[in-house]
Structure 1
Amino acid sequence: MHLERIINVRENIKDTVVKTPLLYSNIFSEMCKNNVYMKCENLQLTGAYKLRGALNKIISLNEVEKSRGVICSSAGNHAQGVAYASLLASVNATIVMPETTPYLKVESTKNYGGNVILHGKCYDDAFMKAKSLEEEEKRVFIHPFDDMDVIYGQGTIALEIFEDINDFDYLIAPIGGGGLISGLSLAAKELNPNIKIIGVQAEGAPSMALSIKNNKICTLDSVNTLADGISVKTPGNRTFEIVKDYVDEIITVSESEIVEAFLLLAEKHKLLAEASGVVTLAALNKLNVQDKKVCCIISGGNIDMLTISSLINNGLVSKGRLLCFSVELKNVPGELLKISEILAKENANVVKLEHNQFKAINRIHNVLLEVTVETNGHEHIQNILSAFKQNDYQINVMY
């Protein structure tokens, strides 16, 4: 029954939505000893899968509903999907987004014609504001995940996957409110009842995982994750029931695991994805299986340059590719040369250097040197630190 509905939705949206590529990853396959494919929804129009569900919902509205205009709450990607779909359908759209929403997502939503209101610190705050405006302005609320039209729209991704490869053992998707994984699982389980559906949440926002564990919908007191696209305090009523019945396991991943997955995807595949988009890749080492065919949904790529820079730096530090340290030196000629000689001998390339007398504890006789160097892993870092210790330098590792 669900599959037939999703097939019909695909026909309704196929002229707008891009069929995104399904790419094999040698890197992630070798890492987890499985055959890993990536469904690249980061290359979708508006930069994320959310366009699918938003477009299907707005297409399904009658003329009276369209004339009233629509409103939604979103952490960013649903906002862009609703704004773009509304633009195509000539429908007035108001979008409520958290104040913490990345600049790129806010500006992109405005560029698609959405009237943006920033409110609250997370999705749930924006949701409450949008619901109040729905009543005041008599608009039609477009829920980002707890709506069957939206869920069926997201399910069209599974149809595209199975058109390309129909014998996956595992399908892995991010979970925020649960709309994406609900649509995927409804379609995939009918197409292949033996496929395992795995959901992934950030450790700082595990609302669905907690709800499934307690067999009831639970609301988190707070959320704290760089994966803003899946930062949801309360999962949906419909999505909770679907996840409970169709999803085989929910894995949570740490912030450092997310950052490392982002860096690996960018460095090895030259693909950019937002933090919530790479949580499926971050979960690969937690599958505890080998030689299986695995499909990871890369759900979105709406990420701004400052965030990219921050994630890259954090990823490099996490993998032992950057070392920043400080050391107090005697304020006499030749001391900086000694430091340079040690670094050169250990094959550490200097990225940044600050020589500042005023930061030293003993400002009269000493100077503080802060150095950032490129390194080749954690073992290389230990070799560098050991070399300084052997030369009687007291090193303070900053990161």
Structure 2
Amino acid sequence: METETKNQLDFNAAYDRIKDVVKRTPLEYNAGLSARYECEIYLKREDLQIVRSYKLRGAYNMISQLTEEELSRGVVCASAGNHAQGVAFSCNKLGTKGVIFMPEITPKQKVTQTEMHGHGSVELVLTGDTFDDCLMEALAYTEAHQMTFIPPFDNYRIIEGQGTVGVEILQDLPDIEAIIMPIGGGGLAAGTGSYLKQNVPGIDLIGVEPEGAPSMLEAFEHGGPVTLPEINRFVDGAAVKRVGKLTYQLCQDVLDEMLLVPEGKVCTTILKLYNEDAIVVEPAGALSVAVLDACRDKIKGKKVVCVISGGNNDIARMQEIKEKSLLYEGLKHYFIVRFPQRPGALKLFVNNVLGPHDDITRFEFIKKTEKENGPALVGIELKSAADYPALLKRMEAHRFSVIELNKDQTLFEYLV
């Protein structure tokens, strides 16, 4: 199908192909977000998909169209987690063998889920630090064993399958006016965006990437896909160094805007969705809601859909997510504090420097042989970011020499 053109994409046929296997996920009106942004916001809950991600759609759409001979030889894929689960589920459903390559940094929860959905039909190979590393290994394995490679995004059958998200949205909300979609490799935005643009010509299509992995935005700015030298892998479901050629072409045609969101804001959004709506999302799944502040003026008064792309969040990551959120919101600060050479300095710091609502969350002397008078690593959590200037003034007034680690990334990474 790679020889076909984008004009031959048939999203309705893909929907008919997968509808009895893939769960039709709800499109839920969110009253809180709607009131906050003065519009009607609906969440497309792909976190409630069978494999907790939209990725099953594309995987099943492609694998179900393979010949009997191709199915007998088996399939291979490379994935940071969600595509792997979709392929594993499809292999089990269609009775074919799958070999799945995943980066070594893939959260354990996603590895376990992939094995579970495969029900013995798949073999997992953990290799490389990023998706792009394991992709090379997977492609080499595919060629050596004459199997069929199932790409995570850059394939028309995959794009067609992901576009069924748009088919369901339009059935449930025919008067949709805007949609915000997360972008990793671009399959979801390319498919869903193309379908909706064809059927709702005036719709606003907004794509969003994590700030630390802006591969589609860079492609837009350079006139084609480019390989980013480094990426922040925290938003693992969207941490791709290079978007696809096909997905780039389609996204360039249909997207009206590309936006970036800081990883810290993604973390804040994950916590808010959990605390306010009892929705468990993975970092990539929070992108469409995290970017709403940047879209406020554009979406005001409109019917807007935010695609919640996945809910495979390992609970073991929650402490890291909370920490990143507090740092981003200016509620947590780390210092190297050199205590004055006088009796009671530590007591003075606790009683007179800390505000009434400030908490010490970490305290350790850096030089173990100079306790009580050597430099200490101190973490302080504030109730409000506005309390920070007053905290610094009190440190200065009481002659505490400090280094603000939040402002020194090198020291922060080394010590914290």
For normalisation by structure 1, the TM-score amounts to: 0.88
In the other structure, the counterpart of 1:40 is 45
Cα distance change of structure 1 residues 372 and 120 upon mapping to structure 2, 3 Å threshold: closer
Cα distance change of structure 1 residues 357 and 99 upon mapping to structure 2, 3 Å threshold: closer
In the other structure, the counterpart of 1:226 is 234
Q: CA deviation at 1:123?
A: 2.0
Task: Give unmatched runs, 5+ long, in structure 1.
Answer: none
8 Å Cα contact 2:366/2:377 also seen in 1: no
Q: CA deviation at 1:302?
A: 1.6
Q: Does 1:256 align with 2:271?
A: no
After superposition, give the CA deviation of every residue in 1:133-155 in whole Å (9 maximum; x if it has no partner): 11111111111112222112111
8 Å Cα contact 1:189/1:246 also seen in 2: yes
Q: Does 1:24 align with 2:29?
A: yes
Which amino acid letter does the alignment assign opposite residue 318 of structure 1?
Answer: Y
For normalisation by structure 2, the TM-score amounts to: 0.84
Output the CA distance in 1 between the equivalents of 2:107 and 2:177. 35
Residue identity (%): 34
Q: How many residues align?
A: 396
In the other structure, the counterpart of 2:388 is 381
SS of the counterpart of 2:132? helix
Could you tell me which of 11, 14, 18 is aligned with 1:13?
18
CA RMSD of superposed structures (Å): 2.9
Which amino acid letter does the alignment assign opposite residue 68 of structure 1?
Answer: R
8 Å Cα contact 1:359/1:368 also seen in 2: no
Q: CA deviation at 1:76?
A: 1.4
In the other structure, the counterpart of 1:59 is 64
Q: CA deviation at 1:50?
A: 0.2
8 Å Cα contact 1:346/1:383 also seen in 2: no
In the other structure, the counterpart of 2:155 is 147
8 Å Cα contact 1:76/1:105 also seen in 2: yes
8 Å Cα contact 2:359/2:381 also seen in 1: yes
In the other structure, the counterpart of 2:207 is 199
Could you tell me which of 308, 313, 317 is aligned with 1:307?
317
SS of the counterpart of 1:235? coil
Could you tell me which of 114, 117, 123 is aligned with 1:109?
114
8 Å Cα contact 2:357/2:383 also seen in 1: no
Q: CA deviation at 1:69?
A: 0.6
Output the CA distance in 2 between the equivalents of 1:206 and 1:347. 38
Output the CA distance in 2 between the equivalents of 1:148 and 1:286. 31
Could you tell me which of 62, 69, 82 is aligned with 1:77?
82
Output the CA distance in 2 between the equivalents of 1:325 and 1:219. 36
SS of the counterpart of 2:179? strand
8 Å Cα contact 1:226/1:255 also seen in 2: yes
Which amino acid letter does the alignment assign opposite residue 181 of structure 2?
Answer: A
SS of the counterpart of 2:11? helix
Which amino acid letter does the alignment assign opposite residue 352 of structure 2?
Answer: I
SS of the counterpart of 1:200? strand
Output the CA distance in 1 between the equivalents of 2:264 and 2:335. 21
Cα distance change of structure 1 residues 101 and 168 upon mapping to structure 2, 3 Å threshold: same
Could you tell me which of 328, 346, 363 is aligned with 2:356?
346
In the other structure, the counterpart of 2:246 is 238
8 Å Cα contact 2:54/2:310 also seen in 1: yes
SS of the counterpart of 1:151? helix
Cα distance change of structure 1 residues 236 and 364 upon mapping to structure 2, 3 Å threshold: closer
In the other structure, the counterpart of 1:297 is 307
Q: CA deviation at 1:67?
A: 0.8
Alignment of 1:81-100 (within 5 A): 81-100=86-105
Cα distance change of structure 1 residues 27 and 344 upon mapping to structure 2, 3 Å threshold: farther
In the other structure, the counterpart of 2:411 is none
Cα distance change of structure 1 residues 230 and 345 upon mapping to structure 2, 3 Å threshold: closer
Cα distance change of structure 1 residues 203 and 349 upon mapping to structure 2, 3 Å threshold: closer
Output the CA distance in 1 between the equivalents of 2:330 and 2:45. 28
Which stretch shows the higher mean deviation, 2-11 or 48-57? 2-11
8 Å Cα contact 2:227/2:241 also seen in 1: yes
Output the CA distance in 2 between the equivalents of 1:64 and 1:298. 36
8 Å Cα contact 1:197/1:248 also seen in 2: yes
Could you tell me which of 174, 177, 192 is aligned with 1:184?
192
